[in-house]
Amino acid sequence: MENLKTKDQILSVAKAMNLYPIGGALGEIKGCGAYAESEMVTENGWETKYFGIATPFKGKTDNDIIDRVTITKKAFWEIINLWPLRMGKIIHSLWVIYICEGGLKSRCYRDHEFCPACREIIRAGRKIVKSEEERDLINCGAMILQLSSSYRVRGQDMAGEIDKINLKTAFLKELWRIRKLMLGREKAEKKKMGLLLNLFILAAIFKRKMVYDFLMELDIDKVKLDKMDWYYCLRRPSYNFRGKTIEERLAEVREVDKEQNNLILGI
């Protein structure tokens, strides 16, 4: 609806269409709500076009699937917090949660519905793993990243920092460098992210070849933040994306909004 030029016009159309505002659609700070104008599958998987915003969001709001993702994440964290358990037992427990009746597997996206970053993770993962259980867990991880954009953009930010030459010459040292870099940028979830990164490094120690092969197979350019992803990182104070503070990013997004004539509803 290109003819909508003012906030009042958008709010009037949203009311007429019985639309509900999506809280936090544009970021984490106050006034980041927006109304979805359209949702469709494109070359980027599911995309949402918000009223008044030129840059589409890679994903869509599906409350049923989001609820299943949330339940799955909570169950995962409960299991992980029982550490130390054998890694194999943790992985198997996560798989059981994913495949249970009414669980996340029953609503898993088809490959073309995932964003390019998640699609590449699935492709690389399937090339490395062998068992059905491992393939399911690749899909589960992709679904969590797809439907939890705060996790996804953090992962994409770190993907852009990976140096494959360093992986070849000093594998664990490079992973530890990435861990340190990520925790240095984290502002809200240091404990949780630290635990998650420690488990990843532990997996890299006990499943070194699998993790190494996966990271070397991954096409970093398809995973790291692109221009579309970056727009939705600019209003997130919980993490310093690309090492930029929230103040630097808010200054940048004001310029972007001005250039693109974006209408921020402030809801």
Mean pLDDT, the chain, rounded, equals 91
What is residue 100's predicted lDDT score, i.e. its pLDDT?
84
- What mean pLDDT comes out for the span 90-102? 81
- Measured between alpha carbons, how far is residue 158 from residues 155, 173, 234, 266 in Å? 5, 15, 16, 30
Q: What does the alpha-carbon distance between residue 155 and residue 148 come to, in Å, rounded to a whole number?
A: 11
pTM score of the predicted model: 0.90
Residue 112 has pLDDT above 80, yes or no: yes
* DSSP codes, 68-131: HHHHHHHHHHHHHTT-SS-HHHHHHHHHHHHHSTTSGGGGPPPGGGS-HHHHHHHHHHHHH--S
**Contacts of residue 152, Cβ cutoff 8 Å, sequence gap at least 6:** 115, 117, 118, 145, 146
Mean pLDDT for 203-207 is 90
Q: What is the pLDDT of residues 175-191, one digit of tens each?
A: 999 999 999 999 999 99
Which residues 6+ apart lie within 8 Å of 188 measured at CB? 237, 238, 239
Residue 27 has pLDDT above 90, yes or no: yes
Buried b vs exposed e over 118-129: b needs ≥16 C-beta within 10 Å?
bbbbbbbbeebb
Distance, CA of 267 to CA of 22 (rounded, Å): 9
Model confidence band, residue 143 (pLDDT cutoffs 50, 70, 90): very high
| Percent over 70 (pLDDT), the chain | 96
